[in-house]
Structure 1
Amino acid sequence: MRLLKLTGALLALALLGGCAAPKTVDYSAFKQSRPKSILVLPPINESPEVQASYSLMSQVTYPLAEAGYYVLPIALVDETFRQNGLTTPNDIQALPPGKLHEIFGADSALYITVSEYGTKYMLITSDTAVTASAKLVDLRTGTTLWTGSARASSEEGNSNGGGLVGMLITAAVKQVINSSTDAAHPIAGITGARLLSAGQRTGILYGPRSPKYGTD
């Protein structure tokens, strides 16, 4: 129950602020392509945590669907790759775009890389963070339509107003939670929302299933 409350509080921060300075994104190729469906490929995991890839992958379909796109079912995609002897994200992401289009019929594919995932313990505190980057590629032409990156951390907005004792208690609670669950999983959900939600300065454009389609 306590973990659910923590997850809810973290999700409330999902679209607030950002770790990087605002940048300008060229949406000209995206607007010309206007994909309707997205194939999410297994993320390449550059972190030491083995669960990072599928933790993030299991949560990125929601912001994509909310943005107005048809997202191919993750389980079906995974099984198709397995039946064809492809089990690692690196091998899957190395496939030619045209081949992916031929197999799945999707207009575009989302390529994701997880560069940070997990908890770092300091002297009297800990920080759980997830960092990911992504690109959306038109599978019909091989053109990159969009690129972005995002990071979320459990220490965002943290204040040390409780003094040393308060900091020690907070650190102890965090370590109990982190030792019994995958504390980075809800953080990955925030990262995914920041990375892929439409309507943001650097997010993807609204898809054809959204009432806001064509307004961005």
Structure 2
Amino acid sequence: MKHVKLYTKILFLALLTVLTGCAVTPYDYSALREAKPRSVVVIPPTNSTVEVNAPYIYMSTISQPLAEKGYYVFPVAVVERFMQENGLPTPAEMNAVPLEKIREHIGADAVLYINIEDWGQKYYITSSESVVKVSLKMVDANNGNILWKSQPHAVQPSSNGGGGLIGAIAGAIATQIAGSITDQTPEVSRIANKNAFDDQYRGLLNGPYIKPEKLVTSN
């Protein structure tokens, strides 16, 4: 009987450890709540991948979710052109601009920095997938405090086409051919952004311009 009680206690402690380890720690929003940014400027992304078009594609997907969260987003194309015309031709140079210069010349409350970590079509023997992974860091333009960080990540697998191994190989080949014609990364980027921005525990808090209908389903 003692052995049964001991076994039950060990099992309970093991289960408690697993459940505790799986718990999600809510993000600390104290800096974001204190700063109360109203406007955000998105700096063109740095790129840690070999996909040269990744920054441009991702930039086309970031303004809408930011705006839908209730922030004014400076037009990304205008900001990029303004920086280029002022002697900053590359994203690396743009990301190195001091915050006081951004605040002085653009007037944003917050700055969003982006790095592309993984991107594009991945082909395997019997399958393929579209992958997008980026890191986001929003900082206070006044003092450099980190207001929010996230790593949006999404994977869209291909269909194996059915029919066992032969069908899987055929499906992978068909997907590879289609992938050379249709790029899936814009849609995968939107999925990644939605997952990150709307996460219940670690998403971006609503800004001051959030639409009333969004308050019903948002944090």
Normalising by structure 2, we get a TM-score of 0.81
Larger Cα-atom Rg:
2
Distance, in Å, in 2 between the alignment partners of 1:200 and 1:140 is: 28
| C-alpha distance after superposition, 1:48-105 (max 9, x if no partner) | 1000111111100010011011100112101111110112111111111111111100
The percentage of aligned residue pairs carrying the same residue is 38
* Higher deviation after alignment, 31-40 or 160-169: 160-169
Q: CA deviation at 1:185?
A: 2.5
Letter in 1 for 2:178: I
Pick the structure with more helix per residue. 2
Instruction: After superposition, give the CA deviation of every residue in 1:108-149 in whole Å (9 maximum; x if it has no partner).
Output: 010011100011211122121010111101101211101111
Residues 1:177 and 2:167 are matched in the alignment:
no
Alignment partner, residue 16 of structure 1: none
C-alpha deviation, 1:182, in angstroms: 2.6
Contact 1:198 1:206 in 2 (8 A): no
Q: 1:159 offset after TM fit, Å?
A: 7.5
Distance change >3 Å, CA 162–CA 69, structure 1 → 2? farther
Equivalent position to 1:104, from 82, 103, 106: 106
Q: Highest relative contact order (Cα 8 Å, sep 6+), 1 or 2?
A: 1
Counterpart of 2:209 in structure 1 is: 209
CA shift, 1:151, in A, is 0.9
How much has 1:187 moved relative to structure 2?
1.4
2:6 matched to which residue of 1? none
CA distance in 2, matches of 1:185, 1:209: 26
Q: Secondary structure at the match of 1:78?
A: helix
Give unmatched runs, 5+ long, in structure 2: 1-21
CA RMSD of aligned residues (A): 2.3
Correspondences of 1:1-20 after superposition (within 5 Å): none
Shift of 1:203: 1.2
SS at match of 2:139: strand
Q: What residue in structure 2 maps to residue 163 of structure 1?
A: 164
Counterpart Cα distance in 2 of 1:46 and 1:111: 14
Provide the secondary structure at the position in 1 that maps to 2:70.
Answer: coil
The Cα offsets for residues 26-57 of structure 1, whole Å up to 9 and x where unpaired, read as 10000001100000110111011000111111
Q: How many pairs align? A: 194
Structure 1 regions of 5+ residues with no counterpart? 1-19
Give the 3-state SS of the residue equivalent to 2:186 in structure 1: helix
Moved more, 165-174 or 39-48: 165-174
Which is worse superposed, 167-176 or 56-65?
167-176
Tell me the amino acid that sits aligned with residue 209 of structure 1. Answer: Y
Match of 2:157, SS?
A: coil
Q: Does 1:26 align with 2:28?
A: yes
Aligned counterparts of 1:174 and 1:87: Cα–Cα separation in 2? 36
Does the residue aligned with 1:115 lie in a helix, a strand or coil?
strand
For 2:149 and 2:47, how far apart are their aligned partners in 1? 17
Give the one of 57, 74, 80 matched to 1:55.
57
2:144 maps to: 142
1:90 to 92, 103, 120: 92
C-alpha distance in 2, partners of 1:166/1:45?
36
Give how far 1:22 is off.
3.8
